[in-house]
């Protein structure tokens, strides 16, 4: 049976999601929608395509990591105090 709401049937979850506590993403024209997978009726975040690309690029580059990567011994010696 076909889903009557095209957005409702378009939500995708990462295949790397194992705990079920993750986000789902849907595309609606040039807009990217993001929601919590366990609370699908909660408010949805919306991003333009450019904002989404900037965000996912930042994630891949570690811009949002809570802890910076550990410096090697030679790198830590070069850091300003």
| Tens digits of residue pLDDT in 2-22 | 444 556 658 888 776 666 678
- The Cα 77–Cα 8 span in angstroms is 53
pLDDT for res 76: 52
- The Cα 13–Cα 31 span in angstroms is 17
pLDDT for res 2: 41
- The Cα 32–Cα 55 span in angstroms is 11
pLDDT for res 80: 52
Contacts of 26 (CB under 8 A, 6+ apart): 7, 10, 11, 12, 32, 33, 35
Task: Determine the length of the chain.
Answer: 81
pLDDT for res 58: 94
| pLDDT 10s digits, 23-81 | 899 998 889 999 988 888 889 999 999 999 999 999 899 998 887 666 655 555 555 55
């Amino acid at each position: 049976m076909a889903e009557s709401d095209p957005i409702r049937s378009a939500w995708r979850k990462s295949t790397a999601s194992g705990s079920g506590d993750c986000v789902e993403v849907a595309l609606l024209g040039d807009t990217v929608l993001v929601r919590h997978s366990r609370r699908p009726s909660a408010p949805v975040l919306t991003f333009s395509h450019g904002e989404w690309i900037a965000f996912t690029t930042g994630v891949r580059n570690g811009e949002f990591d809570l802890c910076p990567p550990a410096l090697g011994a030679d790198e830590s010696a070069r850091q300003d105090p």
